[in-house]
Chain A
Amino acid sequence: MIVYLLCFALFLVGLYGVLTKRDLIKIILSLAIMTYAANLFLVLFGYQKDASYPILSEGSQVLAMVDPLPQALVLTSIVIELGTTALLVAIAVRLFQKYKTFDITKIRRLSG
């Protein structure tokens, strides 16, 4: 149970970064921290004590394996996170070209 609570604490650190930082780069890094915490939480659900990885070889028992379903979901999530990060970085580079700063309070006030 302590492991679940620490994972939730990591998610809250990422949420603190998104809410309070004024630098656009730090906001992108905080989104990455939140994604790491969510993926880790999903895989923690499927762990079975003293079980082995879910890959069969010539003659291994099936019942002592961890859950393969959360691992498939997290694989999808990791790939989508890279696409999101690439799109955010492209938008941030374009904003810097136009406004010459990464401060989000300045970007709100200038116009055109």
Chain B
Amino acid sequence: MPVETWLIFILIFMIFGSIAALEIKDILSSIITIGIVGLGVSLAFLFLQAPDLAIVQFLFEIFALIILVRAFVKKDYHLEASSRVNKILVGVTIITLLAIFYLSISIFQALPEFGKPLLFTSSHYLQNGLQETGSANLVTSVILDYRLYDTLGEVTVLFTAILGSLTILRIKSKKADKEVLS
């Protein structure tokens, strides 16, 4: 079967999975369903001939699942039933989103056809990548030689986000300590 048929099948499966993940009431089940949607993305990357991205997406998604499950399971809390105003709001949102989807069909018809990319800069990277950088993996040569400054920015963002989450998780409030001691 051609690649486009596989991709349509995977995308329909992911849409149903994500709608189910948002409507299920149990926390653990919805987190696991998000994990299935992420694995579907990794499979779609394999069909689109991007093995580097498939490995990275799979591993980082497993780590996101570990963090979510460790933080949110075993908390018992109680959500009350939604009022009438909330139901009207949900209906208006669904109608607005369907209208946006219908009006944007004409925009997507102006894009180039699926399977014929416009290779303006990338033809230079594909032809001269091995000679200029010496690495056989062309994606690595793009992120670690031609666009190294963007990788520096990305490492900085990851560093700052992890630093921020470590700071938030380590603050000890004095009031909690006084309650425990008394």
Q: Do chains A and B touch in the complex (CB under 8 A)?
A: yes
CA of A83 to CA of B111, assembled, Å: 32
Residues 39-63 (chain A) with a chain B CB within 8 angstroms: 39-40, 43-49, 51-57, 62-63
Q: How many residues of B contact A (CB 8 A)?
A: 88
Residue among B60, B68, B147, B168 with the highest chain A CB neighbour number at 10 A: B68
Main SS at interface, chain B: helix
Q: Which residues of chain A come closer than 8 Å to B21, judged between CB atoms?
A: 29, 33
> Among the listed A6, A8, A65, A102, which residue makes an inter-chain contact with B126, where contact means beta carbons less than 8 Å apart?
A65
Place the interface of chain A in its size category.
Answer: 35 or more
B92-121 residues at the A interface, CB under 8 angstroms:
93-94, 97, 100-101, 104-105, 108-109, 111, 113-117, 119, 121
Interface centre among B8, B44, B130 (most CB of A within 10 A): B44
B4 at the interface (CB under 8 A from A): yes
Set A66, A87, A91, A92: member contacting B50, Cβ < 8 A:
A66
Q: Does more than half of chain A's interface fall in helix, strand or loop, or is it mixed?
A: helix
A residues with a Cβ closer than 8 A to B are: 1-10, 12-17, 19-23, 25-26, 28-30, 32-33, 36, 39-40, 43-49, 51-57, 62-63, 65-69, 71-72, 74-76, 78-87, 89-94, 96, 100-103
* B interface residues, Cβ below 8 angstroms from A: 3-4, 7-8, 11-12, 14-15, 18-19, 21-22, 27, 30-31, 34, 37-38, 41, 44-45, 48-53, 56-57, 60, 63-64, 67-68, 71-72, 75, 77-80, 82, 86, 89-90, 93-94, 97, 100-101, 104-105, 108-109, 111, 113-117, 119, 121-122, 125-127, 129-130, 136-139, 142-143, 147, 150-151, 154, 157-158, 160-162, 164-165, 168-169, 171
